[in-house]
A and B are shown apart, each in its own frame.
Chain A
Amino acid sequence: GQQLNQSPQSMFIQEGEDVSMNCTSSSIFNTWLWYKQDPGEGPVLLIALYKAGELTSNGRLTAQFGITRKDSFLNISASIPSDVGIYFCAGQRTGANNLFFGTGTRLTVIP
């Protein structure tokens, strides 16, 4: 199945630093989603984006829906140890409930 290209694959950062990751696709999506997955758990929704160009924040997280509808990025500001986990982007098309997931970014925060 189609997977979205997500980068970077992994990141090691110091506590307090900002983080940026992005996701690109060869095809258009009408909704972009960002999930975080902790070991042994299912993905938890962080941010949902529904409109091209939309910039949405959720606490220290900010995500944008690219103008071309083929990309999205997620920023995390002032990282803390509990930000550790794997972050996935996901794209969704109107009228279809199936999500296409990115390859994931594994984030490690060094205290």
Chain B
Amino acid sequence: KAGVTQTPRYLIKTRGQQVTLSCSPISGHRSVSWYQQTPGQGLQFLFEYFSETQRNKGNFPGRFSGRQFSNSRSEMNVSTLELGDSALYLCASSVGTATDTQYFGPGTRLTVL
């Protein structure tokens, strides 16, 4: 079974631009969660999508948004990029039931200049 895939793996943007990251979950998984990892704040939950609906949301500004498609693939978008948005963005997929195991992708390394 293929694992979680994320594209692109690396991205460089400048302040004020917007960016879209993509995540393809493990086949059969309906839940996709996004996390931001930075040296200062560690791993922090952004949001979770299940069956094309946002089911849970972390404490991030509205510049961070996401969506999920009918095939469970998910995208996250960050608008008006700030230097502090430089981070490793990880997505994790799971079947979608309560407390099931989350499997992480390799992440997208975003650098904002």
Interface positions of A (Cβ within 8 A of B): 1, 3, 30-31, 33, 35, 40-45, 48, 50, 88, 90, 92, 94-104
Contacts and interface: CB of A to CB of B under 8 A. Distances in A.
A40 to B, nearest CB: 7
Nearest to A38: B106
B54 to A, nearest CB: 11
Nearest to B103: A45
Contacts, number: 71
A99 B35 CA distance: 9
Contacts of B70: none
Q: What is the predominant secondary structure among interface residues of chain A facing chain B?
A: loop
B90 A100 contact: no
A44 B102 contact: no
A104 B105 CA distance: 18
Contacts of A92: 99
B101 A30 contact: no
A101 B48 contact: no
Nearest to B100: A97
B42 A42 contact: no
A16 B103 CA distance: 29
Interface in B4-59: 4, 31, 33, 35, 41-45, 48, 50, 55-56, 58-59
Contacts of B35: 99, 101
B99 A94 contact: yes
A30 B98 CA distance: 11
B106 A97 contact: no
A90 B90 CA distance: 15
A68 B55 CA distance: 28
A31 B99 contact: yes
Contacts of A94: 98-99
Nearest to B59: A1
B107 A98 contact: no
13 contacts: A1-B41, A1-B44, A1-B58, A30-B99, A33-B101, A42-B90, A42-B92, A44-B104, A45-B103, A48-B101, A90-B43, A96-B98, A97-B50
A50 B92 CA distance: 19
A97 B109 CA distance: 23
